[in-house]
């Protein structure tokens, strides 16, 4: 093979390689946009007979992996199951729920990426998030609170407003922003997940964890050394979420959620998960 010929082959091959990469990216972006615009998720769910839910895997009471089954279990998961069953009933078909574990930081990304159809992952309804996803009405009345070691001098959020205290938050939650409003002088650190936040508190890297009260009750249940103090100081209800622009799916989920509340399933699930939490009267949560 002559040198000249080889040179030409090399050049053509390189150009093709570069074009394939760049073309692939553009084609992919466009195809994805078209697909997201065109598809009605409710229709897809009905056709595939599966509804893919993003649920937590590290949150006691809401979504925590049970080694016996290898699946997440908790209030979120049960609500997702009940809602899926109700949608199936409403639509006159069968739908199987499928669960993908998500982290606090990844839940919205996975929803936007179409890797899940809906999210039930103790997610607070905020105007900021509502710009990118569509929420149903609230399914759990959460509010921010603080968890401290037993015997800590901190008894309320006000006590934390002091530079000698370090408050632990969880990455990707809204809790630390709120915290800064109530206790601007406290130092803050962010942990990637709840269990690491708890070990940080237990090991003395921080003086308090702040996040939704319900999650803190789960942590308090897990570690006998800690307790939730003070009343929740915010109102941050949890909502189920679907991707922006999926109006029919959101309506179907909303309707199913209301029916689950009306037929008493909701209250049964509240009792199942929250009746033996010290300091929490589960009846306050029923609808």
Partner 1 sequence: MSGAFSTSNVQYLLKGLGVTVGVSIISIIISFIAGSVLGIILYEKVPYFTKTVRLIVNTIRNLPLLLIIFFTYFALPKLGVELNAFSATVFAMSVFEATMVAEIIRGGLLSVGIGQTEGALSTGMNKVQTLWYIILPQALKRSIPPLISQFISLVKDTSLATAIVLPELMFRSQVIYGQNPKYMVPMFITIAALYFVVNYSLSLLAKWFDKRLV
Partner 2 sequence: MIDIFTQNWQTILNGFWVTILSSVIGLVGSLLLGTIFALLELAPSRSLRIIGTAFVEFFRNIPLLVITMFFYVVVSSSFKIGGFWSGTIGLILYTSAFIAECLRGGIASVDAGQMEGARSNGLTYTQAMTHIVLPQGFRLAIPSLGNQFINLVKNSSILSFVAGFDLMYQANVISGANLDPFNTYIIVGILYLLITASVSWVVKRLENRIGKEVIR
Cβ nearer to partner 2, comparing 88 with 191: 191
CB of residue 65 to partner 2, shortest distance in Å: 17
Say which entry of partner 1, partner 2, none residue 100 contacts (CB below 5 to 8 A, set by partner kind): partner 1
Q: Buried b / exposed e across 105-129, counting CB within 10 Å, b at 16+? A: ebbbebbeeeebbbbbbbbbbeeeb
Cβ nearer to partner 2, comparing 209 with 256: 209
The sheet with strand 58-59 has its strands ordered as 58-59, 63-66, 71-73
CB of residue 77 to partner 1, shortest distance in Å: 15
CB of residue 133 to partner 2, shortest distance in Å: 10
Distance CA 48, CA 93 (A): 11
Return residues touching partner 1 (CB under 8 A).
1, 6-7, 9-11, 13-14, 17-18, 24-25, 28-29, 31-32, 35, 57-58, 64-65, 67-68, 70, 100-103, 106, 109, 113-115, 195, 199, 202, 222-223
Say which entry of partner 1, partner 2, none residue 172 contacts (CB below 5 to 8 A, set by partner kind): partner 2
Say which entry of partner 2, partner 1, none residue 132 contacts (CB below 5 to 8 A, set by partner kind): partner 2
Return residues touching partner 2 (CB under 8 A).
105-106, 108-109, 112, 132, 171-172, 189-192, 196, 199-200, 202-205
Say which entry of partner 2, partner 1, none residue 200 contacts (CB below 5 to 8 A, set by partner kind): partner 2
Cβ nearer to partner 2, comparing 152 with 286: 152
Cβ nearer to partner 1, comparing 112 with 255: 112
Say which entry of partner 2, partner 1, none residue 19 contacts (CB below 5 to 8 A, set by partner kind): none
- Kind of pairing, strands 58-59 and 63-66? antiparallel
Q: Buried b / exposed e across 204-222, counting CB within 10 Å, b at 16+? A: eebbbbbbbbbbbbbbbee
Cβ nearer to partner 2, comparing 88 with 176: 176
Cβ nearer to partner 1, comparing 27 with 177: 27
Distance CA 277, CA 218 (A): 8
CB of residue 277 to partner 2, shortest distance in Å: 25
- Kind of pairing, strands 71-73 and 208-212? unpaired
């Amino acid at each position: 093979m002559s040198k000249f010929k080889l040179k030409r082959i090399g050049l053509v091959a390189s150009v093709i390689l570069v074009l394939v990469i760049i073309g692939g990216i553009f084609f992919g972006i466009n195809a994805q946009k078209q697909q997201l615009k065109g598809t009605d998720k409710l229709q897809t769910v009905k056709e595939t007979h599966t509804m893919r839910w993003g649920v937590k895997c590290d949150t006691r009471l809401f979504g925590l992996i049970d080694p016996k089954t290898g699946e997440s279990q908790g209030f979120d998961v049960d609500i997702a199951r009940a809602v899926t069953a109700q949608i199936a009933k409403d639509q006159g078909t069968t739908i199987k729920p499928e669960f993908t574990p998500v982290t606090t930081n990844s839940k919205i990304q996975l929803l936007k990426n179409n890797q899940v159809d809906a999210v039930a992952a103790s997610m607070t309804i905020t105007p900021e998030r509502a710009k990118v996803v569509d929420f149903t009405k609230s399914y759990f009345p959460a509010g921010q609170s603080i968890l401290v070691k037993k015997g800590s001098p901190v008894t309320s959020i006000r006590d934390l407003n002091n530079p000698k205290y370090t408050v632990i938050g969880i990455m990707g939650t809204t809790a630390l922003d709120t915290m800064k409003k109530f206790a601007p002088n406290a130092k803050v650190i962010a942990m990637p997940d709840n269990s690491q936040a708890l070990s940080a508190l237990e090991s003395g890297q921080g003086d308090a964890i702040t996040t939704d009260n319900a999650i803190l009750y789960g942590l308090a249940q897990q570690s006998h050394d800690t307790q939730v103090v003070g009343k929740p100081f915010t109102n941050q209800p949890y909502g189920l979420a679907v991707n922006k622009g999926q109006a029919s799916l959101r309506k179907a989920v909303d309707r199913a959620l209301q029916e689950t509340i009306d037929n008493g399933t909701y209250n049964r699930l509240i009792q199942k998960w929250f009746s033996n939490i010290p300091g929490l009267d589960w009846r306050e949560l029923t609808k």
